[in-house]
């Protein structure tokens, strides 16, 4: 892992949260996109070399909707940048980390992503991500 890529924050209302975080961070989001496979709308802010990703559910069955129902708004995950998601999935599995995704998948911000299960990471949802390349994604 080579850096903290972003911190994901689950929010109920992305527009209200964009306004709030624009005030806090003294900058505007640089990107917003829908990730239909995850059932979310995302919004990204740059803070130095790290991103803040706001995530709003688009339907009640999305992981973000379930998270907010259970825990309320707040930090959802921390993402670490890696050179190759597939290699790091294997490495983490060898280290005994349970992975939610067995293969990299397409995520927001042109990234290939995979998540480690929080029950094997002290309750923290960990995402690994790398810039998307030409590999087949699920």
- Per-residue pLDDT, 37: 87
Give the span between the Cα atoms of 63 and 68, in whole angstroms.
Answer: 9
Q: Is the pLDDT of residue 132 over 70?
A: yes
Q: Is the pLDDT of residue 138 over 70?
A: no
Dump pLDDT digits (tens) for 25-79: 999 999 999 999 899 999 999 999 999 999 999 999 999 999 999 999 999 999 9
Higher pLDDT, 41 or 135: 41
Task: Kindly state the DSSP code that residue 82 receives in the 8-state scheme.
Answer: -
Q: Is the pLDDT of residue 136 over 60?
A: no
Give the span between the Cα atoms of 54 and 10, in whole angstroms.
Answer: 6
Give the span between the Cα atoms of 77 and 74, in whole angstroms.
Answer: 9
Compute CA 39 distance to the chain's CA centroid, rounded to the nearest angstrom: 12
Average of per-residue pLDDT values in the chain: 93
């Amino acid at each position: 892992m080579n850096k903290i890529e972003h911190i994901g924050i689950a929010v109920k209302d992305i527009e209200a949260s964009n306004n709030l975080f624009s005030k806090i961070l003294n900058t505007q989001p640089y990107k917003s996109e829908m990730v239909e496979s995850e059932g979310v709308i995302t919004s990204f802010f740059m803070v130095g070399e790290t991103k803040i990703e706001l995530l709003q559910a688009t339907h009640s069955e999305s992981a973000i909707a379930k998270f907010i129902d259970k825990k309320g708004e707040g930090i959802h995950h921390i993402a670490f940048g890696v050179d190759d998601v597939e290699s790091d999935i294997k490495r983490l599995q060898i280290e005994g980390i349970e992975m939610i995704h067995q293969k990299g998948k397409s995520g927001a911000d042109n990234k290939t992503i995979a998540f480690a299960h929080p029950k094997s990471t002290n309750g923290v949802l960990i995402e690994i991500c790398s810039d998307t390349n030409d590999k087949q994604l699920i």
